[in-house]
Amino acid sequence: MSKAKSQKAGRATGKPSATPPAQMKMREPASLRKRATRRAQARKKTTRKAAPVLARKGNSSTAVARSNHNLPDALKNFSPCDIAIMYRPQTPDAIDQARELASWLQEHGYRVYSAPGQQLVRGCKKLTRRELDEIDWLIVLGGDGTYLRAVHLLEGRQIPILGINMGSLGFLTETRVEELYKTVLYTIHKKMQFRPRSMLKITVTRGVKSKAGKAKTTETFIALNDVVLERGSTTHLISLAVYSENQLVGEIKADALIVASPTGSTAYNLAAGGPILHPEVHAIVLTPVCPHALTTRPLIFPDDQEITFRLLTTDKRAGLTIDGNYCGEITTEDEVTVTRHEQEHFVIRRPTHNYFSLLREKLKFGERD
């Protein structure tokens, strides 16, 4: 049987083909190559002269092997067959690109899944909780908000995500849409890096100080960026007691309190005056928003510590927001605990990726005019 017939037979039976799709000779569609070339030429004309780059020792394949050395086994032996695609809702360009990509992947023997509530093309499966354990890779077309939704969809599973920027800032979705197919091919042929990002585990225990004898209930959440405890619409300031490993850090009165991971340090934390952390630093940053006391400053904790928060004022409530999603109210009977999640999230990056170049490009870091 020929390789092409073997691929078709595999798709017809719903089983992986005899020849792994990654071994096939794949090229991006010709129309897209021409379009990408025109865009690249236009961008070259308008791009400012870049600062000189120091020479790097070794080649890209060496860098990939070195960076992927401590990966989970599933990523060390990365050979995707089942790929999920999530696009930015109500964005025609993102929807069209997602459907075009889905068709292209299917033509090359891959099983493609659409995110819940989204539609791709005929032959794509709907991604359910059971299928989440089957997929090897998730491709996101949108902005950072879409990327965060994808992370929450995975519920802590170590499935790598490739972010294609079709939003505005694109700090997490770093890859340009013009480089979509080239980057997908590089990933399939093991020319990309899987970079770890720590996540936060949030545990909300309700009824800790209940005087009515109510049973305790516990809710658990995951955050890639941040957790925010903020004042309600009818309150002025909230007062929170902060503990690290059951030791009192202090009592903070502010409009809100941000608990950010290194990845989230460039989001709300940065806007509130918090520090930028390199995404692979093992730390958690705590930043007050408009604190009552000028001596209340941001704090950086080791991420192996358990940080606990309790609301002090009985007549007030605080809102709990995780990665931009409102998750309910916190009262004086509740306790919020934040620590590093036991699982890491993996982003897909080129071996030449430079975090500081990203800071300069996206946040204009260090610019004076």
Q: What is the pLDDT of residues 139-153, one digit of tens each?
A: 999 999 999 999 999
Are 99 and 178 found together in one domain?
yes
Q: CB of 223 within 8 A of CB of 202?
A: yes
Number of domains in the chain: 2
145, part of any domain? yes
Supply φ then ψ for residue 171, to 5 degrees: -80, -40
Residue 87 CA neighbour count, 13 Å, CB half: 21
263: domain CATH number is: 2.60.200.30
Are 144 and 216 found together in one domain?
no
Are 77 and 144 found together in one domain?
yes
Mean pLDDT of the chain: 84
Q: Which tokens belong to 134?
A: 């089957």
User: How far is residue 50's CA from residue 98's CA, in Å, rounded to a whole number?
Assistant: 32
CA distances from 207 to 101, 105, 215, 271, 329 (A): 49, 50, 7, 33, 13
Are 233 and 122 found together in one domain?
no
Structural domain of 304: 200-342
Are 260 and 234 found together in one domain?
yes
23, part of any domain? no
165, part of any domain? yes
51, part of any domain? no
Q: CB of 193 within 8 A of CB of 60?
A: no
Give the percent of the chain with pLDDT over 70. Answer: 79
270, part of any domain? yes
The label of the residue with tokens 């300069």 reads 360
pLDDT of res. 148: 96
User: How far is residue 273's CA from residue 256's CA, in Å, rounded to a whole number?
Assistant: 13
DSSP 109-130: T-EEEEPTT---STTPEE--HH
271, part of any domain? yes
pLDDT of res. 36: 55
The closest of 251, 257, 190, 264 to 222, measured between CA atoms, is: 264
**Cα four-point dihedral sign 171, 321, 135, 198:** positive
Are 147 and 252 found together in one domain?
no
Q: What is the CA radius of gyration of the chain?
A: 23
128, part of any domain? yes
Put simply, whether the predicted model's pTM sits higher than 0.95 gets the answer no
Active site residues: 144
Are 186 and 257 found together in one domain?
no
70: domain CATH number is: 3.40.50.10330
Are 335 and 226 found together in one domain?
yes
User: How far is residue 15's CA from residue 64's CA, in Å, rounded to a whole number?
Assistant: 30
Are 329 and 238 found together in one domain?
yes
Are 252 and 221 found together in one domain?
yes
Are 258 and 283 found together in one domain?
yes
Going by C-beta distance under 8 Å and a sequence separation of 6 or more, which residues neighbour residue 91? 142, 166
Q: What is the pLDDT of residues 36-92, one digit of tens each?
A: 566 556 555 444 444 444 444 445 555 555 556 578 888 888 989 999 999 999 999
Q: Which tokens belong to 202?
A: 């949030």
Q: What is the pLDDT of residues 203-243, one digit of tens each?
A: 999 987 666 666 689 999 999 999 999 987 766 899 999 99
